């Protein structure tokens, strides 16, 4: 009777096969790596990001917010560059809208603090642990980041308007792009802000699963805001400042007709709609 010898290479391969699915342990690991993360996993990633943001010092939040305001201003500049170099055709707005993505790419990929991103990130920890302490932390971060973003876009608008950094036709292009705001009513501003807030919150939710596709995801989602004519409190603020400096609006008009409705709309879209719905998906699993 033959004795069992040492396991051959073929036997080793057979032993490595998964007993139920007919795949190797290495292939099982490959499947796990290629699978989309479950919704509770995405929730936890975004929630922890919010916890980290709320724990940051006020100085760090402020300068990161100012940087985001400066960076987001390149959206308007990129749009103006495309506008001034393209013929006046029906398809021009679709191409000009691509410039809107530039500032968001700089902000998101640069991990800078943008107010509309925090409408979901810091709200998820609050929904999980609804306390006065967390409510105060949310209000603190929102106030610092929003003011910092507005300061950054104001600096950019002043720089573009009152220094010879831009050619006159490019400056005129920035004002022309901005004039779409002047034709919108208060309610239209608010409802367009709801849509924009929802889209940005969805973008933040998608980033953890995007991995190497982050560039494409950011571009696609923010392009939708541009071509859809939706309003964003930060990117729209430099447009509003440009209208004030061009004499189209007074300061009070900018605050009443733009800032108030768009801010309310962005918070509703990002917090009351997307963040609450996202939490509701996982509250029985966490």
Q: What is the CA radius of gyration of the chain?
A: 24
Length of the chain: 286
Is the predicted pLDDT of residue 102 greater than 60, yes or no?
Answer: yes
Residue 220 structure tokens: 């696609």
**Domain count across the chain:** 1
Q: What is the model's pTM?
A: 0.84
Residue 104 lies in a domain: yes
Q: Which of 257, 249, 199, 261 is nearest to 224 (CA)?
A: 199
Is the predicted pLDDT of residue 17 greater than 50, yes or no?
Answer: no
Q: Indicate the pLDDT class of residue 212, thresholds 50, 70 and 90.
A: confident
Strands (E), 53-113: none
Say how far apart CA 111 and CA 198 lie, in whole Å: 20
Containing H/E element for 118? helix 118-121
Say how far apart CA 161 and CA 157 lie, in whole Å: 6
pLDDT digits (tens, 9 = 90+) for 37-47: 677 888 888 88
Say how far apart CA 232 and CA 239 lie, in whole Å: 10
Is the predicted pLDDT of residue 73 greater than 60, yes or no?
Answer: yes
Residue 17 lies in a domain: no
Residue 18 lies in a domain: no
pLDDT digits (tens, 9 = 90+) for 163-209: 999 999 999 999 999 999 998 999 999 999 999 999 999 999 888 88
Instruction: Identify the pLDDT of residue 183.
Output: 87
Q: Is the dihedral of CA 63, 65, 66, 70 positive or negative?
A: positive
Q: Which of 63, 56, 102 is nearest to 79 (CA)?
A: 102
Containing H/E element for 104? helix 100-109
Q: Which of 53, 69, 59 is nearest to 233 (CA)?
A: 69
Domain span at 76: 37-282
Instruction: Identify the pLDDT of residue 34.
Output: 53
Is the predicted pLDDT of residue 18 greater than 50, yes or no?
Answer: no
Say how far apart CA 18 and CA 6 lie, in whole Å: 21
> What is the mean pLDDT of the segment spanning 205-218?
88
Using a 10 angstrom Cβ sphere, with 0-12 exposed, 13-18 middle and 19 or more buried, the burial of residue 280 is: exposed
Residue 220 lies in a domain: yes
CATH number at residue 217: 1.20.1080.10
Residue 219 lies in a domain: yes
Residue 30 lies in a domain: no
Using a 10 angstrom Cβ sphere, with 0-12 exposed, 13-18 middle and 19 or more buried, the burial of residue 95 is: middle
Residue 31 lies in a domain: no
Asked whether 86 and 64 are in contact (CB, 8 A), the reply is no
> What is the mean pLDDT of the segment spanning 50-65?
94
Residue 3 structure tokens: 């004795």
For residue 193, the tally of other CB atoms under 10 A from its CB is 28
Residue 11 lies in a domain: no
In degrees and rounded to multiples of 5, residue 221 shows phi and psi of -70, -40
């Amino acid at each position: 009777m033959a004795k069992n010898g040492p396991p051959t290479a073929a036997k080793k391969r057979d032993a490595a096969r998964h007993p139920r699915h007919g795949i190797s342990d290495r292939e099982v690991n490959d499947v796990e790596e290629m699978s989309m993360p479950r919704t509770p996993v995405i929730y936890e990633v975004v929630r922890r990001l919010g916890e980290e943001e709320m724990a940051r010092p006020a100085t760090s939040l402020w300068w990161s917010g100012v940087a985001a305001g400066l960076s987001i201003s390149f959206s308007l500049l990129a749009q103006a560059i495309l506008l001034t170099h393209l013929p006046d055709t029906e398809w021009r707005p679709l191409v000009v809208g691509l410039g809107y993505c530039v500032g968001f790419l700089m902000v998101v990929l640069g991990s800078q603090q943008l107010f509309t991103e925090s409408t979901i990130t810091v709200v998820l920890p609050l929904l999980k642990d609804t306390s006065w302490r967390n409510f105060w932390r949310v209000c603190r971060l929102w106030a610092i980041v929003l003011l910092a973003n507005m300061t950054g876009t104001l600096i950019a608008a002043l720089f573009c308007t009152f220094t010879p950094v831009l050619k006159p036709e490019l400056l005129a292009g920035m004002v022309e792009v901005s004039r779409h705001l002047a034709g919108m009513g208060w309610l239209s501003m608010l409802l367009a802000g709801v849509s924009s807030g929802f889209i940005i919150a969805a973008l933040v939710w998608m980033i953890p699963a995007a991995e190497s596709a982050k560039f494409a995801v950011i571009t696609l989602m923010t392009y939708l805001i541009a071509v859809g004519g939706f309003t964003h409190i930060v990117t729209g603020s430099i447009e509003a400042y440009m209208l004030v400096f061009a004499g189209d609006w007074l300061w009070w008009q900018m605050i009443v007709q733009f800032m108030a409705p768009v801010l309310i709309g962005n918070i509703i879209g990002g917090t009351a709609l997307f963040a609450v719905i996202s939490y509701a998906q996982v509250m029985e699993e966490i």
